[in-house]
């Protein structure tokens, strides 16, 4: 067993269509320009397809393959069949070589969360989300935690790096 350091995890939560994906994309872009290695775990609560219908990887999975690996010159995807969703900790344990894991969803799991709340898409903060350390919103909020607008994501990244004490990987 190697003594790999624990990779910090941050959750991005919010109601459907509140802009979670947009915020995560911008966080990833900003952190990549600063030299950080990032992994993103997306909770697809309604399932997903590995590939579009008719493509080879889709056909392999539909035929019942337990694992389908698609390898290309610049990427590798492993699609595994499970009877039930593995715990988030198990998923994160399989990730290595990054400085931060960003999780979209899994709002009931413990850990530091940034909630995205937007007028016309959110009904306040999620009642089941705990450990909110910051909010991204298009309207002023008084939640007792730092609040960032969608135009302050550089500052949000500064906050994340400081709050989680993130250091760059030496890979």
Predicted confidence (pLDDT) per residue in 124-157, tens digit: 666 666 688 999 988 777 778 899 998 999 999 9
Q: Rg for the chain (alpha carbons), in Å? A: 18
- Overall CATH class of domain 9-44+58-164: alpha beta
Cβ atoms within 10 Å, residue 72 = 7
Domain boundaries, the chain: 9-44+58-164
Distances (CA, A) of 5 to 35, 36, 68, 95, 170: 18, 15, 29, 11, 12
Give the pLDDT score at 121.
Answer: 61
Coarse DSSP helix, strand, coil percentages of the chain, rounded to the nearest 5 percent: 25, 25, 55
Task: Report pLDDT digits (tens) over 78-95.
Answer: 878 888 888 899 889 989
Give the pLDDT score at 1.
Answer: 46
Please state the rounded mean pLDDT for residues 39-53.
71
- The C-alpha atoms of residue 66 and residue 136 are separated, in whole angstroms, by 39
What pTM does this model have?
A: 0.85
Please state the rounded mean pLDDT for residues 17-32.
93
Decide if pLDDT at 27 tops 60.
Answer: yes
pLDDT above 70 covers a percentage of the chain that reads 82
């Amino acid at each position: 067993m190697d003594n790999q350091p624990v990779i910090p995890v941050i959750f991005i939560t919010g109601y459907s269509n509140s802009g979670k994906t947009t915020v995560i994309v911008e966080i990833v872009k900003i952190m990549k320009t600063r030299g950080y290695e990032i992994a993103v775990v997306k909770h697809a609560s309604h399932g997903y397809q590995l590939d579009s219908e008719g493509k080879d990887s889709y056909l392999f999975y539909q035929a019942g393959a337990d694992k389908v690996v698609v390898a290309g010159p610049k990427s590798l995807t492993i699609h595994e069949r499970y009877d039930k969703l593995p715990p988030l900790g198990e998923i994160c344990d399989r990730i290595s070589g990054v400085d931060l894991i960003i999780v979209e969803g899994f709002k009931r799991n413990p850990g530091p969360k940034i909630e995205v709340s937007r007028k016309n898409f959110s009904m306040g903060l999620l009642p089941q989300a705990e450990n909110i350390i910051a909010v991204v919103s298009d309207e002023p909020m008084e939640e007792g935690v730092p609040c960032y607008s969608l135009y302050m994501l550089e500052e949000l990244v500064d906050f994340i790096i400081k709050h989680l004490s993130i250091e760059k990987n030496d890979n």
